[in-house]
Amino acid sequence: MKTRAIVIGGGLHGTSTALHLARKGLDVLVIEKNSVGRHASGVNAGGVRQLRRHPAEVPLSVAAMDRWLNLDAFLGPDLAAMCEFTGHVGQVAVAETEAEMAGLAAREAELRGLGWTHEELLDQAALRRVAPALSPHCVGGLISRRDGHANPYRTSQAFRLKAQREGVRFREGTRVLGLVQAGAGWRVETSDGAFDSDVVVNCGGAWGWQVAAMVGEVLPHVDFAPSMMVSARVQHFLDPVVVGTGRKLSFKQTENGTVVIGGGILGIPDLVAETADPVAERLVESARTVHDLFPIMRTATIVRAWAGLEARMPDEIPVIGPSTMVANLWHAFGYSGHGFQLSPIVGSLLADLIVDGKSPLPLEPFRAGRFNEGPVAAHPGTA
């Protein structure tokens, strides 16, 4: 009989993990309380970014980028097209002051010291060449040229369809209520009855801490709701994704001309109602940043705002790895607002770790036990 795996959570990481477990021959069921891609996976800004990653995430991010740039091979041509991925437009962190520029230079030097060369400093003239619409007061930037963006909801559906084609089953609208050890494995109790499994993977996103708590495991619990807004169509003026250095901003123009503005302005999460609301008073900061950085946007119109529910870890990197408490339970959640780009790779590494006992890339920095080993903090200069 095949080894059975249940993945809790039908976000991108759950779906990717399920796909890769199925490829390794497991019988996989994804249990999703709403619908696939309903929360952070489907409503994030869609940035496919290696730029300014935490050093621990860099190897994963670079490997993920290889997969994004070969989506045809990963998903097949039809599902690859569904993702609406655009690569090689670059993501640029823009410096508005010499002090910000010095910070970017320090970051670039640190990364180079670690042996990575995908981030490149831009002087004012070079910045102007990649993003002519930026306000002339910007002094320079840091670019990762392979980066780009994709449509997050369509990507989450493409991942689901790929997983389904490879034998993964999905139960949407099914809520996990409890995890009970049964022999060496698990009985997963849900709103639709109980399901037995040898392995359980917790990809619960903003609800991941609740799944951990079902076995008495206490993991950090900070839910947050990054918000975004989008403009009416504007004539094409920008190719790369522009992110702020001193200010909260993520800014990109999509194929159809609309401009998606995010960057960490927070909405109000409502974990109980399972929704999140953007807050107009807070979006004012975004509007002012865009007003200052992109003069062309001063006549644009905002047509919609939204927010997504996500879990944030104290050191702003995810938990990936085995439970600290029990066997055959694995965690992969808490991407702290930047898990989208990592989704093609983490599921693959985690499947290797679960099935073969070894991941080809280091996952040690993401171990769940790190919060019990002393204080943790975000790495400076990263996002």
Partner 1 sequence: MARTSCELAIIGGGPAGMAAAARAAALGVDTIVLDEQPAPGGQIYRAIETVQASRADDLRILGEEYAEGAALAAAFRASGAAYEPGSVVWQALEDGRIGVSCNGAAHMLSAQRILIATGAMERPVPIPGWTLPGVMGAGAAQTLLKACGLVPDVPVVIIGTGPLIYLIAVQFARAGVPIASVLVAAPEIGMTDALRVLPGALRSGRTLLKGLAWRSELRGMGVQMVHGVSQPVVEGSGRAEAVSYTQNGMRHRIAARLVLLHNGVIPSTQLALGARCKQAWDAGQHCWRPQTNDWGATSHARIAVAGDGAGILGARGAASLGRLAALDAAVRLGKLDPARCDRMASEDRSELARQHGLRVVLDRLFPPAAELLAPTGAGDIVCRCEEITVAELQDAVTQGCTDANRVKAFTRCGMGPCQGRMCGAAAAEVIARMLHQSVDQPGQFRVRLPVRPVPLAELAGLQI
> Which residue in the set 52, 54, 154, 162 belongs to the binding site for partner 1 (CB under 8 A)?
154
Nearest-10 crossing angle of helices 343-356, 12-23: 40
- Integer angstrom CA distances of residue 51 from 215, 239, 244: 36, 16, 12
CA 220 – CA 335 distance, rounded (Å):
12
**Closer by beta carbon to partner 1, 61 or else 250:** 250
Binding of residue 373 to partner 1 (CB under 8 A):
no
Q: Any contact of residue 19 with partner 1 (CB under 8 A)?
A: no
Q: Which long-range contacts (CB under 8 A, 24 or more apart) does 101-105 make?
A: 101/139, 101/140, 103/245, 103/381, 104/140, 104/141, 104/142, 104/245
CB of 119 to partner 1, least distance (A): 30
Is the torsion defined by CA of 185, 186, 187, 188 positive or negative? negative
Query: Taking the complex as a whole, how short is the minimal distance between the CB of residue 329 and partner 1, in angstroms?
Result: 28
Select from 305, 329, 342, 351 the one that contacts partner 1 (CB under 8 A).
305
301 belongs to the binding site for partner 1 (CB under 8 A): yes
Q: Which residues contact 293 (CB under 8 A, 6 or more apart)?
A: 94, 96, 134, 135, 138, 242, 244, 249, 251
The reply on whether position 304 binds partner 1 by CB under 8 A is yes
User: Which residue(s) pair with 65 in the sheet?
Assistant: none
Closest distance of CB 185 from partner 1, Å: 29
For position 10 contacting partner 1 by CB under 8 A, the verdict is: no
Closest CA to 8 of 30, 26, 27: 30
Measured in residues, the chain has a length of 383
Residue 80 near residue 341 (C-beta atoms within 8 A):
no
- Least Å distance, CB 38 to partner 1, is 8
Contacting residues for 124 by C-beta, under 8 A, at least 6 apart: 138, 139, 140
Beta carbon nearer to partner 1, 86 or 359: 86
* Closer by beta carbon to partner 1, 297 or else 345: 297
Residues 223-262 as x/- pattern, contact with partner 1 by CB under 8 A: -------xxx-----------------------x------
Which residues in 161-190 contact partner 1 (CB under 8 A)?
A: 161
- The reply to whether 11 sits near partner 1 by the rule CB under 8 A is no
Residue 16 to residue 98: CA distance in whole angstroms: 41
Residue in 287, 326, 355, 378 binding partner 1, rule: CB under 8 A: 287
Residue 269 three-state SS: strand
Q: Which of residues 31-50 bind partner 1 (CB under 8 A)?
A: 35-37, 42-43
- Computed on alpha carbons and rounded to an integer, the radius of gyration of the chain in Å comes to 20
Count of residues that interact with partner 1, criterion CB under 8 A: 34
Minimum CB separation of residue 294 from partner 1 in Å reads 9
| 137 is a contact residue toward partner 1 (CB under 8 A) | no
Chain centre to alpha carbon of residue 200: 21
Comparison of 210 and 254: residue with beta carbon closer to partner 1: 254
| Contacting residue, 298, 356, 364, 376, with partner 1 by CB under 8 A | 298
263-282: which residues touch partner 1 (CB under 8 A)? 277-278, 280-281
Which of 74, 153, 195, 366 forms a contact with partner 1 (CB under 8 A)?
A: 153
Task: Please report, as ranges, the residues that interact with partner 1 according to CB under 8 A.
Answer: 35-37, 42-43, 153-154, 157, 160-161, 230-232, 256, 277-278, 280-281, 283-284, 287-288, 290-291, 297-306
